[in-house]
Amino acid sequence: MPFIRILPNAEYAPDGDRIEAPRGTSICEALIDAGIPIEHACEMSCACTTCHVVVQEGLASLGEIDEAEEDLLDRAWGLTPTSRLSCQAILSDQDVTIEIPKYTINHAKEKH
């Protein structure tokens, strides 16, 4: 099973974290299952950008990005060339390292 390394973030993983998740799982699902409260206002339906992550390592191992995700990412705060919506980024067999941006386009935090 691949590992997701989460870089330190004051809100989500103050000391960083490393979690294991089954192949075929989205990064968002894996984070939520591990108790990391990543925003996902649209309930992982690829309709917002609140679950935006920046993939620092392992980008090529994730499932292909589609046009709907690309269009939404244009609205994400802190967009980078390696940005993905974590609800659409599906794990394969390789480990990935991600950064969860400090801000989202939401003005208020969702409670999930």
Rg of the chain in Å (alpha carbons): 12
Residue 112: the pLDDT is 46
pLDDT band at 104 (very low <50, low <70, confident <90, very high): low
Tokens 């591990």, residue located: 34
Give, in order, the Cα–Cα distances in Å from 47 to each of 9, 71, 86: 24, 10, 12
Superfamily of domain 3-99: Beta-grasp domain (3.10.20.30)
Give the SS3 label for residue 103.
coil
Residue 13: the pLDDT is 83
Q: Which residues contact 94 (CB under 8 A, 6 or more apart)?
A: 2, 58, 61
Give, in order, the Cα–Cα distances in Å from 74 to each of 17, 35, 68, 89, 94: 28, 28, 10, 16, 27
pLDDT, tens only, 69-82: 999 999 998 899 99
pLDDT above 70 covers a percentage of the chain that reads 92
pTM: 0.89
Residue 12 has pLDDT above 80, yes or no: no
Domain boundaries, the chain: 3-99
pLDDT, tens only, 36-86: 989 888 989 999 999 999 999 999 999 899 999 999 999 998 899 999 999
β-strands 3-6, 52-57: how paired?
Answer: unpaired
List beta partners, residue 57: 97
